[in-house]
Amino acid sequence: MSDKKVRVEIVEEVALICIDNPPVNASGLAVRQGIVAALEEISAAGSIGAVGLYCAGRTFIAGADITEFGKPLQEPGLPGVCDTLENFDTPIVAVIHGTALGGGLETAMGCHARVALPSAKVGLPEVLLGILPGAGGTQRAPRLAGIPNALDLILSGRHVAAQEALEMGVIDRIMEGTPRDVALAAAREVVAGTLATRRTGTLQTAPDDAAIATTLAHVQQKHPQLISPQKCVECVAASTGDLQEGLAFERAAFMECLASPQSKALIYAFFGERAVANIPEKTAQARDIGSLGVIGGGTMGSGISTAALMAGLPVTLIEVTQEALARGVATITSNLEGAVKRGKMGAAARDAALARLTASTEMQSLSEVDLVVEAVFENMEIKKEIFGKLDGICKEGAVLASNTSYLDINEIAAMTGRPQDVLGLHFFSPAHIMKLLEVVAGENTAPQVVATGFALAKKLRKVAVRAGVCDGFIGNRILGYYLKAASYLVLDGAHPDQVDRALEGFGFAMGPHRVGDLAGLDIGYMTRKRLAATRPPEERYSGAIADQLSENGWNGRKSGKGYFVYDGRETLENPDLNAIIAEARAKAGITPRDFSVAEIVERYMTAMISEAARVVEDGIALRPVDVDVVFLMGYGFPRFRGGPLHYADTIGAAELVRRIEAYAEEDAHYWQVPDLLRKMAADGTTFADLNKGK
């Protein structure tokens, strides 16, 4: 087998081009050069009637090689390769298997016909990386599929199944077989005249000013801060005229997006989600997980059960009473129903998932399961009792996990005679939807058990991040710290609505007070009570306003009232809130002052970054990127800012130290410069350097 990334095979009157660049056939320099060389070779061979272009391995081209972005472009560039394909004298048919994404689909659209295997998918996901299809995609997709379909593909970035792509006009035919066999058969059909070919660039895009105007308005309203969605619409609008002009317009827009901090952050996030799998335990052999036990049928337990059932695992759900068990089963059923409605599964798959569920009030039913997740409420004594029992019930080698979001895994593990089998699996609510899983390694957790946590996450289609033991692990520990900053802002003079709006303007989906109302203010209330005894006397109390809301029974959305009042889908002002705030300020002897939007964002973000730096410094997170992924996937951090520590690099350690020292003049207990940040400021390192192990 040749080690060339692009190979040519001549079979009688047709030529086959095979791209072979594992793992995903990204079109890096060698692939681009190889395609051009392959076309030259085919030209030189003469008397070829048609060319079939396909890929080896698991997928068609997954796009441009993202690792080349930011480096000087080496010719030939992908736009030029697509033009060369389109202008080639002999018709070329692209054969798509796996996924043809971004530059991959653009390559296929540069060919003269497209055939897909039934299981193939196509998409233009560039917008998710803060860029746009920059190799002719914004010009060729509307020519093939019309403006509305092209806008849908380019702005959603979704993967479209072959059948839908056929209906859209993006592909021409669906054929079964191996990619090579289909390429050969399709090329022969081109020669025989039974598969039509044409140059995409010669087609005319039908103008659709209404679709352009509506989409532009929608994009500006939904993503006001994002550059690339708006540029995508402008490029598609430019596809109704001359092809070369449209391509030049697209090129300029692409380069502008690529140079933006937004695309750098989004590309960082893409690689970050994969980098977190690089853990010390990655070479350990994960244990086989063929079945799951879940203790607790509340929101979390039911969500975890749903996720496992949807992934094809049998689940045994345990509750203390028949009534609680019935409630858990009802929640799981309704979760699965929701998945059917969202198109995530069909009715038959839902029925099969439910058939995999066993419900029991006997812990003994867990004796044969491979992994147990305890998901009862946050009470150390109850958890300890459960783990003590599990130790006596579960088979040897079973993995015993707690879904605690704060508590000490080592203390829980110590209740068993097998602490090496115990770890934390911290799911995020709703657990069948949220993609984040914190895998918490205790001091005695065996490497295979940590690896098993990661393997389970993969099975459940979640992104696992490794965390060490501390109160709140990575995410909730940092959250607990910066929520105090938000409370101090309100105590000192800002209004909760003003704080929320400032942070929503920064890019958070919701400000902290709206999130608090959504999650339930009673959670924070109970946590403050739990930690009251450990609060140092010099700490300024931040919970006075939230305490009063909870004590009034106003726990947020579920009670119709919290920081805001909820009337159906409407969020209104809470008319009693100002009096509560005034009373708390008066009690603490505070004269309120004004805060600008910039100062609110600055203080809140500096607090988040400080604690995130300490989490890295303490080794709770392996690297800064682990913190970033937790925040992007679990805490609604704006993806286009890359995560708190990627964002921190845009400010710089020296400026962050300066800010913290200035704030410390008001409150030297809360605002302390993390050692790591001070060191970084002194030696000029960045969090990006730490990610690279520098």
CB of 307 to ligand 3H9, least distance (A): 18
Of 91 and 125, nearer to ligand 3H9 (C-beta) is 125
Candidate residues 6, 24, 100, 515; the one interacting with ligand 3H9 per rule CB under 6 A: 24
- Candidates 53, 66, 494, 612; binder of ligand 3H9 (CB under 6 A) is 66
Q: What is the DSSP string of 252-282?
A: HHHHHHHTSHHHHHHHHHHHHHHHTT--TTT
d(CA 455, CA 290) in angstroms, rounded, equals 12
Cα–Cα dist 93/197, whole Å:
8
Segment near ligand 3H9 (CB under 6 A), from 99-107, 143-151, 283-291, 474-482?
99-107
Identity of the residue, 80 or 146, whose beta carbon is nearer to ligand 3H9 in the bound complex? 80
Smaller CB separation from ligand 3H9, 198 or 274: 274
Q: Quick check: 600 and 490 in contact, CB under 8 A?
A: no
Residue with tokens 């080349």: 68
In angstroms, give the least distance from the CB of 152 to ligand 3H9. Answer: 17
Among 17, 101, 165, 470, binds ligand 3H9 (CB under 6 A): 101
Tell me phi and psi for residue 623, to 5 degrees. -150, 165
Nearest to 640 by CA among 274, 226, 222, 272: 226
Compare residues 101 and 186 and give the one whose CB is closer to ligand 3H9. Answer: 101
Q: Tell me how far, at minimum, the Cβ of 98 lies from ligand 3H9, in Å.
A: 7
Query: Is 65 near ligand 3H9 (CB under 6 A)?
Result: yes
**Does 63 engage in binding with ligand 3H9 (CB under 6 A)?**
yes
Question: Residue 141 in contact with residue 109, Cβ under 8 Å?
Answer: yes
| Binder among 17, 18, 26, 51 for ligand 3H9 (CB under 6 A) | 26
Closest approach of ligand 3H9 to the CB of residue 71, in Å: 12
Please report how close the Cβ of residue 531 comes to ligand 3H9 at its closest, in angstroms. Answer: 39
> At 513, is the secondary structure helix, strand, or coil?
helix
Distance (Å, whole) CA 122 – CA 102: 8
Say how many residues touch ligand 3H9, by CB under 6 A. 26
Q: Contact letters (x/-) for ligand 3H9, 113-152, by CB under 6 A?
A: ------------xx--x---xxx-x---------------
CB of 213 to ligand 3H9, least distance (A): 25
- Calculate the CA dihedral of residues 531, 535, 540, 544 and round it to 10 degrees: 30
229 forms part of the interface with ligand 3H9 (CB under 6 A): no
Residue type at 38 in one-letter notation: A
The conformation of residue 205, written as its DSSP 8-state character, comes to: P
- Rounded to 5 degrees, what are φ and ψ at 28? -75, -175
Place of tokens 């004269």: 591
The minimum distance between CB 258 and ligand 3H9, in angstroms, equals 8
**Residue 78 contacts ligand 3H9 per CB under 6 A:** yes
Say if residues 66 and 168 touch (Cβ distance below 8 Å). no
By the 10 Å C-beta count (0-12 exposed, 13-18 middle, 19+ buried), 248 is classed as middle
425 part of the interface to ligand 3H9, by CB under 6 A: no
Quick check: 74 binds ligand 3H9 (CB under 6 A)?
Answer: no
d(CA 236, CA 231): 9
- Separation of first and last alpha carbons in the chain: 39
Quick one: which of 379, 397, 377, 400 has its CA closest to 389? Answer: 400
CB of 629 to ligand 3H9, least distance (A): 13
Smallest gap from Cβ 250 to ligand 3H9, in A, equals 9
Q: Toward ligand 3H9, which CB reaches closer, 154 or 584?
A: 154
Stretch that binds ligand 3H9, among 100-108, 148-156, 395-403, 501-509 (CB under 6 A): 100-108
Give CA–CA dist 335/185, Å, rounded: 45
Q: Write the DSSP string, 113-160.
A: EEEE-TT-EEE-GGGGGT---TTTHHHHHHHHH-HHHHHHHHHH-PPE
What amino acid positions are annotated as catalytic residues?
64, 103, 106, 126
Q: Which is nearer to ligand 3H9, 185 or 235 (CB)?
A: 235
Instruction: Between 254 and 671, name the residue whose CB sits nearer to ligand 3H9.
Output: 254
Of residues 16, 62, 449, 581, which one binds ligand 3H9 by CB under 6 A? 62
- Which residues, at least 6 apart from 632, have a Cβ–Cβ distance to it below 8 Å? 269, 272, 273, 639, 642, 643
Select the span of 40-48, 58-66, 458-466, 475-483 touching ligand 3H9 (CB under 6 A). 58-66
Q: Where do the H-state alpha helices sit in 342-372?
A: 347-355
- The answer to whether residue 250 forms part of the interface with ligand 3H9 (CB under 6 A) is no
Nearer to ligand 3H9 (CB atom), residue 63 or residue 293: 63
Shortest distance in whole angstroms from residue 346 CB to ligand 3H9: 22
Q: What are phi and psi of 625, to 5 degrees?
A: -65, -30
Q: Which is nearer to ligand 3H9, 126 or 547 (CB)?
A: 126
Q: Which residue lies nearer to ligand 3H9 by CB, 140 or 383? A: 140
Kindly tell me which of 55 and 613 has the beta carbon lying closer to ligand 3H9: 55
Instruction: Say if residues 58 and 20 touch (Cβ distance below 8 Å).
Output: no
The residues in 256-295 that bind ligand 3H9, with binding defined as CB under 6 A, are 271, 274
User: Nearest approach, Cβ of 435 to ligand 3H9 (angstroms)?
Assistant: 13
Q: Which of 35, 50, 51, 64 binds ligand 3H9 (CB under 6 A)?
A: 64
d(CA 542, CA 499): 15
Q: How far is the CB of 328 from ligand 3H9 (least distance, A)?
A: 32
What is the spatial distance between Cα 331 and Cα 64, in angstroms, rounded to a whole number? 43
CB-wise, 24 or 457, nearer to ligand 3H9? 24
Q: Does the protein bind ligand 3H9 through residue 67 (CB under 6 A)?
A: yes
Instruction: Give Cα separations from 368 to 325, 363, 390 (angstroms).
Output: 20, 11, 11
109 binds ligand 3H9 (CB under 6 A): no
Cβ atoms 26, 13 nearer than 8 A? no
User: From the list 106, 189, 250, 492, which residue makes contact with ligand 3H9 (rule: CB under 6 A)?
Assistant: 106
Segment contacting ligand 3H9 (CB under 6 A): 96-104, 178-186, 445-453, 597-605?
96-104
- Alpha carbon 21 to chain centroid distance? 26
Neighbour tally for 418: CB within 10 Å: 19
Could you tell me if residue 642 is left (phi over 0), alpha (psi between -120 and 50 degrees) or otherwise beta?
Answer: left
Q: Under the rule (CB under 6 A), what is the footprint of ligand 3H9?
A: 23-24, 26, 59, 62-67, 78-79, 99, 101-103, 106, 125-126, 129, 133-135, 137, 271, 274
